[in-house]
Structure formats: C-alpha cells, structure tokens
Amino acid sequence: MSQLIDDVLDIVAQKAMIDRAKLSPEAKLADLQISSLDIVEIVFALEDKFQVQIPFNANSTNMEFETVGEVVTIVEKLILAKQEGRIISEAELFPKKDKPAA
C-alpha cells in the first residue's frame, strides 16, 4: 500500500476508534458505523495532515464519500491540485454517481 493510503487509514482508525485491521479502501463508512461527528474529525485531521481543504458540509445528510477509498482519492486529487498550483472544483472532486435504475 502507498504511504498516503496508510496515512488515511491510520487517521480513520484513530478518529473513529476502529480496529485498523478492519479498514481497507473498499470498506464502506456506513458499514463501519462511523458517526457524522467522527467524519468531521476525520476531515479535520486529513486537512491538517496534508495541508488541504476538503469541501465538506457537516450539516448535510448526503455523504460526499461512501468508502475509505473515496476518501483517499479525494485527498490524492487535492494534493495533486495543490502541487500543480490549481484549484479543483467540487464537481471534479465529487463526480456525480449514477443511481441504479428502479
């Protein structure tokens, strides 16, 4: 695993008080029963660790990310944009997910 993935998994495990062994990029945050308060703490810790700004609305019931891997991807995109000196749009950061047909 890359250092970035390890760092993100460590932060999620620490802030959500989850056994690190239960975490993988495929792990769904809802399945891990991570509370909204834990999500806020995770976002703040990631912003502090990687010196990025994650656009996140703590008052929204819609999650911008569903899996640990999506969190990693968002952090990767933000780090890359920062290194390139560009601002990344929320649409680029959080692409719309296709909903399954009913």
DSSP per-residue codes, 26-80: T-BTTTTT--HHHHHHHHHHHHHHHT------TT-SS-S--BHHHHHHHHHHHHH
Given a cut of 80, is residue 101 above it in pLDDT? no
Residue 82 banded pLDDT, cuts 50, 70, 90: very high
Q: What is the average pLDDT across 64-86?
A: 91
pTM above 0.95, yes or no: no
Domains of the chain: 3-90 (1.10.1200.10)
